[in-house]
Amino acid sequence: MLPTPATSTSTYSTLLMIAGLACLFVASIVWRRRSSAMGADALIVYMLALSWWDLTYAVFWAGAPGPGPAFWLNLTYLGVLIAPAALLVFALQLSMREQWQRSFPIAVLAIEPLLVLILLWTDPWHGLFFAGKRTLDMAVILDGGPVFWANLVYSYTLVLLAIGLLLWLFLRSSGLYRRQAAVVLGAIVFSWLNSVIFIARLSPLPDADNTPFVFSVAALGFAFALLRYRLLDVVPIARDVLIERMGDGIVVLDTQGRIVDLNPAARRLLKTPANLAPGAPGERLGKVWGVIRDASDTSLAAGIEARIGEPPQCYLDVRIVPLHDSHQHVVGRLIVCRDITELKRAQAELQHFATTDGLTQIYNRRYFFALARTAVRSAQRLGHPLAMIIMDLDHFKQVNDTYGHAAGDQVLVAFAELCRSQVRAEDLIARFGGEEFIVLLEQTSLATAAQVAERLRLAALQAKLVIDGQPVAITVSLGVAAIAGDRDSLELLVQRADQALYAAKHSGRNQVCVWETGTGMGLARVLRLADLHGGSVALESSPGARSRFSVTLPLTPNDGKGPYRSWPRGSSVGTPGDARWSGHADAAPDHGTLPPGHSNERTIA
């Protein structure tokens, strides 16, 4: 029955009106923060539903006229049906369980309120909601038909789910986050307990439904949380965001090496079994466990790199951080695994570009010298033999001029492959520049290096290269040298091999020349002198024997225009002829002048 005293009716209506306006006030606060606040939209809908419930119920108690006796009471049900669903969505969002929303769309929650509203307003035709139990003077609805009870069970189930989520949030949070959850949880539990008391007909106001009023008091609790504890401003960053969604693998171990927790990224990176669950021993993490176990023997943080899986392997940067309690005792370890496979590949590519000739894919000159310098020092320290071969493709310019530079590149690539096939895997081979190549042979004597050089020469001579359908023949000249003492430097070794190569090219090409002790600068100077004066050099060289050469120079009077030596002032100029030297390649011709018209052979001692 409606309460008869006008004062109590007016007072209750006023309190409901105030509560409804308070809900609107809270909704307006949340509205201003909705763009950056988790759960703001759901809370706004919840507050508006409560405000609708309060305000329409206040109008009902104020006795405002309507289309029918129960019009304003029926109108309250729009807020009654929306509030539980909005509360559940708010709890889901606040506890960061929105993945449940993806598996169960929010739109589904609107189906039940819509059906109930339709059945409520059409009850006179079927009686499924009130079942004929409603009277005209009824101010509350405490009994009805099957739809009424089904809706009651459904609504309170949603409220219980929301309370469970908020309780979970409270237990998992700390500090400011826990105080936020406590205020919201307390307000909801208070409202739910009041509703139970009302349904059980134990309310101090038996003729009035105080549920909207109590729910509005809860809304004031939300307002307190908004203003005092910055609810929606400081939203806890929960495990779903920090761990579950991280690209880095996270594993937590206890002091016994058992798995306490691990995220999906860790399962993927470590390739763990699908049934691996918390509580399992750390050994089940796979091959990385050995690395983690060894690094976990210290109480300090550690960082290591690990390779996982079969080729192509995955490279991981593994960070191990000890976890301490308030007394600084180690209570576990946090393992953070980051996939650095792409970084390692990029580093390998940079290393390749920095050390390899881009065309032939053998070492470049710079990297060769870095490795060769170490090899020379090691050979001298240990007393091991070490030799070098410098090679130059004969008449390579003709290949470029005849077939084009692309064809020339093909010849260089083919020759590099040929060289690789004729030397040992541990020998260093590089492109020295242009069409020149260089090989360093560790623990190899001069005689053996000469044999290797001859093998290379024959391989080039016998190579069958085809460019644009045409066979291309190549030959190569080679200079061989070896370290001769513990004071020989890499630069001196290169100089000797280069001098031998120079001799090979000036002796007709397609041959091997060997630098031996006692030769060198004399031979090089003879070759350059012959070049300068348009002469020729005949060289005989074989492993184990001293190299011999003979030089023929034209004798031409100096007219002041040519490159030849000036004869001594006052001498007569004879008939042009040749001057010939012959001798061992261990000494240079002297720097004196040759008398005009004189031609003879000299042995240079």
Q: Highest mean pLDDT: which of 57-66, 111-120, 528-537?
A: 111-120
- Calculate the average pLDDT of the chain: 76
Listing from the earlier edge strand, what are the strands of the sheet with 603-604? Answer: 536-540, 548-555, 577-584, 603-604
CA distance 254 to 277: 14
**What percentage of residues in the chain have a pLDDT greater than 70?**
69
CB 582 within 8 Å of CB 537: no
Q: By C-alpha distance, which of 70, 29, 75 is closest to 54?
A: 75
Q: Provide CB contacts within 8 A for 23, sequence distance 6+.
A: 47, 48, 50, 51, 54, 216, 219
- 261 or 583, higher pLDDT: 261
Query: Three-class SS string for 204-260?
Result: CCCCCCCHHHHHHHHHHHHHHHHHHCCCCCCCCCCHHHHHHCCCCEEEEEECCCEEE
- The mean pLDDT value for 33-60 works out to 79
Q: Tell the residue number behind the tokens 């020379």, with chain if given.
A: 376
The predicted structure's pLDDT at residue 518:
55
Between 378 and 216, where is the model more confident? 378
Q: What is d(CA 63, CA 85) in angstroms, rounded to the nearest whole number?
A: 30
Q: Which of 92-106, 434-448, 476-490 has the highest mean pLDDT?
A: 434-448
| Arithmetic mean of pLDDT, 199-220 | 64
| Mean pLDDT for the stretch of residues 247-260 | 84
Q: Answer yes or no: are the C-beta atoms of 335 and 288 closer than 8 Å.
A: no
Full DSSP string of 289-338:
HHHHHHHTTSSS-EEEEEEESSSSPEEEEEEEEEEE-TT--EEEEEEEEE
pLDDT digits (tens, 9 = 90+) for 367-425: 999 999 999 999 999 999 999 999 999 999 999 888 889 999 999 999 999 999 999 99
Does the annotation count 435 as an active-site position?
Answer: yes
pLDDT recorded at residue 524: 56
* pLDDT top residue among 119 and 603: 119
Listed residue (253, 323, 260) closest to 289, CA to CA = 253
Q: Look at residues 252, 234, 235 and name the one whose alpha carbon lies nearest to residue 243.
A: 252
What is the band of 3 on the pLDDT scale with cuts at 50, 70, 90? very low
Highest average pLDDT, of 61-75, 328-342, 435-449, comes from 435-449
| pLDDT tens-digit series, residues 296-314 | 655 556 677 777 766 667 8
pLDDT at 254 over 80: yes
What are the residues whose beta carbons fall under 8 Å from the beta carbon of 484, sequence distance 6 or more? 517
Please identify which residue in the block is written with the tokens 């309690």. Answer: 325
Spatial separation of the C-alpha atoms in residues 304 and 319, rounded to whole Å: 7
Rounded Cα distance between 479 and 136, Å, is 119
Sign of the Cα torsion 439, 444, 450, 454 reads: negative
Evaluate if residue 559 carries a pLDDT over 60.
no
Residue 175: both structure tokens together: 């500090």
Q: Does pTM surpass 0.75?
A: no
Residues 426-462: pLDDT tens digits?
999 999 999 999 999 999 999 999 999 999 999 999 9
The mean-pLDDT minimum among 59-73, 126-140, 246-260, 262-276 falls in 126-140
**In the predicted structure, residue 341 carries a pLDDT above the cut 50:** yes
- C-alpha to C-alpha distance for 523 and 540, rounded to whole angstroms: 12
Query: Is residue 160 within 8 Å of residue 152, measured between CB atoms?
Result: no
pLDDT reading at 351 higher than 50? yes
Alpha helices in 359-445 (DSSP H): 365-382, 396-403, 405-422
Least confident of 139-153, 258-272, 428-442, 565-579: 565-579
Q: Label residue 521 by pLDDT band (50, 70, 90).
A: very low
Residue of 272, 302, 478 lying closest to 387 (CA atoms): 478
Confidence of residue 579 (pLDDT cuts 50, 70, 90): very low
pLDDT attached to residue 438: 97
Give yes or no for a contact between 429 and 363, defined as CB atoms under 8 angstroms apart.
yes
Which H or E run includes 25? helix 6-32
Of 150-154, 186-190, 331-335, 364-368, where does the model show the most confidence? 364-368
CA distance 74 to 69: 10
Provide the token pair at 531.
């070049």
> Residues with Cβ < 8 Å from 506, sequence gap 6 or more?
527, 530, 531, 537, 539
pLDDT(131) > 90: no
Q: Are 246 and 264 in contact (CB under 8 A)?
A: no
8 Å CB contact between 144 and 135? no
98, 310, 435, 442: which one is catalytic?
Answer: 435
Residue 135 has a pLDDT of 62
Predicted confidence at residue 419, as pLDDT, reads 95
Indicate if the pLDDT at residue 366 is higher than 80.
yes
**Tokens coding 575:** 């008939």
Q: What is the pLDDT of residues 14-36, one digit of tens each?
A: 877 887 888 888 888 878 766 65
CA-CA distance, 45 to 27, in Å (whole number)?
8
The pLDDT value given to residue 520: 47
Q: Is the pLDDT of residue 577 over 60?
A: no
Contact partners, residue 270, CB within 8 Å, separation at least 6: 249, 251, 285, 286, 288, 308, 337
- Using the predicted structure, report yes or no on whether residue 539 has a pLDDT greater than 70: no
